[in-house]
Structures are given as structure tokens and as C-alpha cells.
């Protein structure tokens, strides 16, 4: 994939507008996971090193619904960015230009025109900031056709930032239509709707597909298993069977739980059962020890691993066992190329104290990563193509 990228000549002496992904988790007004801010630093450092006149940053936080919501203000992010960058960052409550070299403007989703890709909002931002170049460095929002992502296309030159460039470099090889030797894809989480297309793709090119989380419940139910009162999207049973048929056609092994950890409710006493013994009021909250051992064996012998989404209710022990085991196994396989992203992956790594450096690439994109891997054209990437 050929895209327009940053060059020293392009930015020297210019006012640069950068779309970053600073949608970080907050608790009591404090940032609890700052990876997305850290990942923006290479682009900002490049712009500073190569003589950008001013840098205006656009970002969103949460879902304020086009209204001003103080709890979604980017002010805490500006303070954190200043610490990490070790340069002054001026926080602006609107799009008016201040005097600072680096300026972070308030949450673009406070404006109803943002999600509508309103040309008037794009014009207002350009006029007030005086931007001459647009850099998309928000891979995590590149699947959104919104003003701050695509609204400047055709008005000023648009190029990829270092993060977007890195994401494309690591993810593009998996758009292949050919079988990739040694590829295992582990997919968890809840929603079938966001995973069906990517599962269909990987059931054609991967050697193994591991399924866990509530996602696995839907597949088990589609195969006729009694899953008690477990979370399940029965409307997607037909699609689950289609995924399994594609895998069979392309000789891809699909691994579903052979045993599970169940309880009547998350606070109740849990039991391990073979998958076929689940019934009544029981709910599946995690994969069982035999499933863990089976999945680990597959991962241990994989040459490439892509992982998206937890394999159980990892936020609440003892239902964190499956996700922890899979995360640790992938981290230990230092001979494999390992790609992680989406589905609370960053939260998983933080909870279990696993360093991101253990993996080849940890994507900042959730929905964007999945849509990119299923072969969709992402609006924020399309405007960067040469």
C-alpha cells in the first residue's frame, strides 16, 4: 500500500494540523493507560526536529454526543503530553490559534459537525489555525468518515504520521489472499457483528483460528451445545456456521473451548465443566484448563500470531485465567511475529503486568484494526494514498 508520508521538506516552516488518537481511559480525572499518547511522540518529535512552525493537535475523548461535557475534556491529556514530550503544550478550549509551538485543541466531538463530516467545521478549523499541512496520525479513528479525519482532504496536502505508517507496515501483509504458513489468529470479546468479516477472512488464510470469550458461546450454541444462560448472540448463529464452513473448505483448524469455567453469576462459586455439560442457570465466564492447555500448544508452535479480544471475563478473578494464560503464552513465543490490538488488549497487558515490548506490534486501533484486516477501505487511509 503506497501512502504519502512525512518528509523534512514538507513540514519545514509550515503550520501543521495533526489528527491524533488521544481517546485514553480516565478514572477520577486521571489517565490510567497512556499508550496512545506515547505512540504519538515520534510524529511530534519529527515535526519539531524538522522545523514545523506550529503544531495544532486535534483529538477526541469519549462520546459527548456533539455537546460540551466537562468530563470528556482533553485538558488532562494536554498535561500528560507535556510531561512525555518534555515540551510546553498549550491547551486551547476551541480552535482559535494561541501562541504556543504545540497546541492541543479541545475535544472535536464537542462539535455536532464532527461526526457529520461537516465541510463548514473543516473550513473553520483551517481558517482559525492557519494550517498548511494535515497529518493523520490517529490510526484508531481512521475507519471514521469524520471532519477531523477526512475533512481536510482536497483543501491542504494530507499525509500519514509515523504511527499510521507503522500500523500499515505491520498489518498490510495479512491482507493476503494466500495461506500464510504458521499463522494463528486468536479472537475473543463479545460482539459477533464486529468480528464476522475478519473471521471469514482469516478462516481462509490462517492455519489456526482460536475463539474465546462470549464470541465462543455464539459458536457453541450454533453447533447445538447447551450454553445455559451464557451471554450469546443467537441472531448470529447462521453467520457462525458460515465461518466454520469457510474454515473447513480452506482447511483451517478452528479451536473452540472443550471445557469452561461457569457460575450462576460473576460473584457466585465457579466450577469447571466439559463444554457439553453446561446447562440450566449456569453462565460461561472463561475457558477451562483443558482449553487453555490446548490453545497454548497451538500458540507455542505458531510462527505468526494475531490476537484480538479477551477470552473471558478477565476483569474479574477467577475468570481472568484464560486471558492471562494466552497473553503470557504469546509473550513467551519470542520466535514468532506477534500482533496484538483491539478488544481491551492494552487493558489486558496492563492488568497482568506484561510489557508491550514482548510483542512485535501492539496496534492502537480496535475497530480500525479489524476493518483494515478484513480488507475494508478506511476513509482516513484512503485520503493518504498516492
Domain ranges of the chain: 8-167, 176-373
Mean pLDDT of 246-265: 97
367 is catalytic: yes
Of the candidates 66, 98, 182, 367, the residue annotated as catalytic is 367
Number of helices and strands (H, E) in the chain?
A: 15, 17
d(CA 59, CA 75): 11
Cβ atoms of 288 and 300 within 8 Å: the answer is no
In the chain, the DSSP E strands lie at 15-19, 26-27, 30-31, 54-58, 90-92, 102-105, 133-136, 158-160, 183-187, 208-211, 253-255, 259-263, 271-274, 283-287, 304-308, 337-341, 361-363
Residue 235's contacts (CB-CB under 8 Å, 6 or more residues apart) are none
Of the candidates 53, 128, 191, 356, the residue annotated as catalytic is 191
Tens of pLDDT, residues 50-63:
999 999 999 999 99
pLDDT tier at 344, thresholds 50, 70, 90: confident
Tens of pLDDT, residues 81-140:
999 999 999 999 999 999 999 999 999 999 999 999 999 999 999 999 999 999 999 999
Exposed e or buried b per residue across 335-364, where buried means at least 16 C-beta atoms within 10 angstroms of its C-beta = ebbbbbbbbbbbebbebeebebebbebbbb
| pLDDT score at 89 | 98
19 is catalytic: no
268 is catalytic: no
Alpha helices of 192-344 — where are they, by DSSP H?
Answer: 196-205, 213-222, 237-249, 289-300, 321-332
**pTM listed for this prediction:** 0.92
Reading the block at residue 167, the C-alpha cell is 500500523
Of the candidates 212, 343, 365, 380, the residue annotated as catalytic is 343
Of the candidates 36, 109, 115, 324, the residue annotated as catalytic is 36
d(CA 243, CA 233): 15
Q: Strands 183-187 and 259-263: what pairing? A: unpaired
| pLDDT score at 343 | 58
300 is catalytic: no
DSSP-derived letter for residue 106 is: P
**The pLDDT of residue 342 is above 80:** no
Inter-CA distances, 59 with 91, 105, 235, Å: 12, 7, 35
For domain 176-373, give the CATH number.
Answer: 3.40.50.1260
Looking at CATH, the fold of the domain delimited by 8-167 is given as Rossmann fold (3.40.50)
Q: Say yes or no: do domains 8-167 and 176-373 share a fold.
A: yes
Amino acid at each position: 500500500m503506497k501512502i504519502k508520508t512525512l518528509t523534512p521538506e514538507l513540514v519545514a516552516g509550515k503550520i501543521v494540523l495533526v489528527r491524533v488518537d488521544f481517546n485514553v481511559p480516565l478514572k477520577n480525572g486521571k489517565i490510567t493507560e497512556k499508550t496512545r499518547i506515547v505512540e504519538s511522540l515520534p510524529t511530534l518529535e519529527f515535526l519539531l526536529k524538522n522545523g514545523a512552525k506550529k503544531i495544532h493537535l486535534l483529538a477526541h475523548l469519549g462520546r459527548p454526543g456533539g455537546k460540551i461535557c466537562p468530563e470528556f475534556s482533553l485538558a488532562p491529556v494536554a498535561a500528560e503530553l507535556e510531561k512525555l514530550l518534555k515540551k510546553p503544550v498549550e491547551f486551547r478550549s476551541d480552535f482559535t490559534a494561541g501562541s504556543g509551538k504545540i497546541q492541543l485543541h479541545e475535544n472535536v466531538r464537542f462539535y455536532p459537525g464532527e461526526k457529520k463530516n461537516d465541510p463548514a467545521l473543516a473550513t473553520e478549523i483551517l481558517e482559525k489555525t492557519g494550517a498548511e499541512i494535515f497529518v493523520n496520525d490517529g490510526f484508531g479513528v481512521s475507519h471514521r468518515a469524520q471532519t477531523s479525519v477526512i475533512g481536510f482532504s482536497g483543501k491542504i496536502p494530507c499525509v500519514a504520521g509515523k504511527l499510521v505508517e507503522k500500523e500499515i507496515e505491520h498489518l498490510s501483509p495479512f491482507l493476503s489472499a494466500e495461506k500464510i504458513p504458521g499463522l494463528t489468529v486468536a479472537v475473543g470479546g463479545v460482539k459477533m457483528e464486529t468480528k464476522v468479516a475478519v473471521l471469514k477472512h482469516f478462516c481462509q488464510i490462517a492455519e489456526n483460528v482460536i475463539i474465546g470469550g462470549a464470541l465462543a458461546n455464539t459458536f457453541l450454541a450454533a453447533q447445538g451445545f447447551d450454553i445455559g444462560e451464557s451471554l450469546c448472540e443467537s441472531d448470529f448463529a447462521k453467520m457462525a456456521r458460515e465461518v466454520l464452513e469457510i474454515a473447513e473448505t480452506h482447511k483451517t483448524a478452528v479451536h473452540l473451548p472443550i471445557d469452561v469455567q461457569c457460575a450462576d453469576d460473576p460473584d457466585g462459586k465457579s466450577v469447571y465443566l466439559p463444554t457439553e455439560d453446561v446447562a440450566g442457570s449456569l453462565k460461561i465466564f472463561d475457558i477451562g484448563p483443558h482449553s487453555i492447555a490446548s490453545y497454548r500448544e497451538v500458540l507455542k508452535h505458531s510462527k505468526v500470531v494475531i490476537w484480538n479480544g479477551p477470552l473471558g471475563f478477565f476483569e474479574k478473578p477467577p475468570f481472568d485465567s484464560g486471558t492471562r494464560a494466552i497473553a503470557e503464552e504469546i509473550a513467551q513465543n519470542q520466535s514468532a511475529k506477534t500482533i496484538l490490538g483491539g478488544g481491551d488488549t492494552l487493558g489486558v497487558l496492563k492488568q497482568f503486568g506484561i510489557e508491550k515490548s514482548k510483542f512485535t506490534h501492539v496496534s492502537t486501533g480496535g475497530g480500525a484494526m479489524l476493518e483494515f484486516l478484513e480488507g475494508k477501505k478506511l476513509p482516513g487511509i484512503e485520503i493518504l494514498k498516492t
